[in-house]
């Protein structure tokens, strides 16, 4: 007998598993289909984010930063540490342990909320039926009143440097190195490339980042991006802009990369090469030809503002639809769709989705950049505050970067918060909360911030918007 559910979710990543849990909490009979297997051969929930993305990369970023601090940062505190060593396999195993614990946690949440886990590859058929193909080839079909597609994304492979998963790796392979490569190449100076380059650079690799674009971090506010380039270069990352990779050759356990830049044809040899040029939506073999769901030319699923597809009763969320490929965006879409299916009103403010690059210093932003606003003809006032003037940052010996607040010159409403520096992700979230409720720079300036904290930098930047900063000299309004 065919199983019937109120909701079937295809994919157990940060969008899918959250959607499934919320739907079950709302009283809907819910199933979630997941095919990914961990190294132990068991189904592992959490998707790219938990298994080979956000979580493991942050584990390595934290481990590598602690090693870097022990080597170079402790002395200023009067702490002498001799003969600091890194056990890479132990670091990798710590990362794997964190992933396993979280896998178990999500599975436990499924049981606690009554979500049925269906193991295998899910494919949407006509009439909201879903075909599930098990690892052994067995096939079953389930029916649903509503289907949520949350099949995620995968690393983009490029013809000039095809991953062999040994010398040339994608972001997943870069999380599994068992030793520090002496010479590491990274193709792509985006979020993934900079984070992974930072991990191995801190551990001793000579890192060269090849970026095809002439502009560094084009999605980031120009002032923040320029500061980031200066800091990363000082840290030892060799970032080559306008470097377009044309080919590669693997020989004797190393890879030579061929590229062109402003100086013509170039080549450079590395022990390992990470290809981090972006990700693509996983929609191939997820939709039957008669499913009724429409795709664009890049493989993304067409949806409206509430993530409804062209097929009645079918939704799509996360990396397979428009917008940034961010786990928190996928999760909130999952909640929104589950609540709408249950008859509740729910929506997302897509203008206020924060973005973070977890380098050190962190880079984070929410809202629009100064360049975007000026291009739209919006007159703005800008306030900045450097962490070099923050007592808390000085105490922590972590003074690189700044907070930047952008407000409408007429209404004083905050339109963007941009941070490079310690705890940037946390500070930007404070800005996002305020912006969600229409805060003005004056509002932020009138709030009482505890002292000494890093968040005081946000307070001072907001004050600086209107020339009222206390702990730096105020600049004239633009």
DSSP 436-459: HTT-BHHHHHHSPPPSS-TTHHHH
pLDDT at 304 over 90: yes
The predicted pLDDT at position 1 comes to 74
| Residue 432 covered by a domain | yes
The predicted pLDDT at position 343 comes to 97
pTM of the model: 0.96
Once rounded to an integer, what is the mean pLDDT over residues 434-452? 98
- 37-65 pLDDT, tens digit per residue, is 998 999 999 999 999 999 999 999 999 99
Once rounded to an integer, what is the mean pLDDT over residues 342-349? 96
| Residue 269 covered by a domain | yes
Same domain, 12 and 145: yes
User: Computed from CA positions of residues 184, 186, 191, 194, in that sequence, does the dihedral angle turn out positive or negative?
Assistant: positive
Q: Which listed residue (146, 451, 459, 468) is catalytic?
A: 451
| Residue 205 covered by a domain | yes
Cross-strand pairs, 247: 258
Same domain, 38 and 94: yes
Q: Do residues 271 and 183 lie in contact, with contact meaning Cβ atoms separated by under 8 Å? A: yes
Element (H, E) at 228: helix 222-235
Mean pLDDT over all residues of the chain?
97
Give catalytic status of residue 451 as yes or no.
Answer: yes
CATH number of the domain residue 196 falls in: 3.50.50.60
Q: Do residues 463 and 445 lie in contact, with contact meaning Cβ atoms separated by under 8 Å? A: yes
| Residue 471 covered by a domain | no
Q: Which of 262, 277, 292 lies at the terminal end of a domain, its last residue?
A: 277
Q: Which of 311, 332, 348 lies at the terminal end of a domain, its last residue?
A: 348
- 255-300 pLDDT, tens digit per residue, is 999 999 999 999 999 999 999 999 999 999 999 999 999 999 999 9
């Amino acid at each position: 007998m065919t199983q019937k559910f109120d909701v079937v979710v295809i994919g157990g990543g940060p969008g899918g598993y959250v959607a499934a849990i919320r739907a079950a909490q709302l009283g809907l009979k819910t199933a979630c289909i997941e095919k990914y297997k961990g190294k132990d051969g068991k189904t592992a929930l959490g998707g790219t984010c938990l298994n080979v993305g956000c979580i493991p990369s942050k584990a390595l970023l934290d481990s590598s930063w602690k090693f870097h601090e022990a080597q170079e940062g402790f002395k200023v505190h009067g702490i002498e540490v001799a003969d600091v060593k890194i056990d890479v396999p132990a670091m990798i195993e710590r990362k794997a342990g964190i992933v396993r614990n979280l896998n178990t946690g999500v599975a436990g949440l499924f049981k606690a909320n009554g979500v049925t886990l269906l193991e295998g590859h899910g494919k949407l058929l006509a009439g909201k039926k879903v075909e599930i193909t098990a690892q052994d080839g067995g096939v079953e079909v389930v029916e649903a009143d509503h289907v949520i597609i949350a099949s995620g994304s995968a690393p983009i492979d490029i013809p000039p440097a095809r991953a062999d998963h040994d010398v040339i790796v994608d972001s997943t392979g870069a999380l599994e190195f068992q030793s520090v490569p002496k010479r590491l190449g990274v193709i792509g100076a985006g979020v993934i490339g900079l984070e992974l380059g930072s991990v191995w650079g801190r551990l001793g690799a000579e890192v060269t980042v090849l970026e095809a674009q002439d502009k560094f971090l084009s999605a980031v506010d120009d002032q923040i991006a320029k500061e980031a380039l200066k800091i990363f270069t000082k840290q030892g990352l060799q970032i080559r802009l306008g470097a377009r990779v044309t080919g590669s050759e693997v020989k004797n356990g190393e890879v030579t990369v061929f590229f062109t830049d402003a100086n013509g044809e170039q080549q450079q040899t590395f022990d390992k090469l990470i290809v981090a040029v972006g990700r693509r939506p996983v929609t191939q073999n997820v939709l039957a030809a008669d499913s009724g769901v429409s795709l664009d030319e890049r493989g993304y699923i067409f949806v409206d503002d509430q993530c409804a597809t062209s097929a009645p009763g079918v939704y799509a969320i996360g990396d397979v639809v428009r917008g940034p490929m961010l786990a928190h965006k996928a999760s909130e879409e999952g909640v929104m769709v589950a609540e709408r299916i249950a008859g509740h009103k729910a929506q997302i403010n897509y203008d206020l989705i924060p973005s973070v690059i977890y380098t050190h210093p962190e880079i984070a932003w929410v809202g629009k950049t100064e360049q975007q606003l000026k291009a739209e003809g919006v007159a703005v006032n800008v306030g900045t505050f450097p962490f070099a003037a923050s007592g808390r940052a000085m105490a922590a010996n972590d003074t690189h970067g700044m907070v930047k607040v952008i407000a409408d010159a007429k209404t004083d409403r905050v339109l963007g918060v941009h941070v490079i520096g310690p705890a940037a992700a946390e500070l930007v979230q404070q800005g996002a909360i305020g912006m969600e409720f229409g805060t003005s720079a004056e509002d932020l300036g009138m709030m009482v911030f505890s002292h000494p904290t890093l968040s005081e930098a946000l307070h001072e930047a907001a004050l600086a918007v209107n020339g009222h900063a206390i702990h730096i000299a105020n600049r004239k309004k633009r």
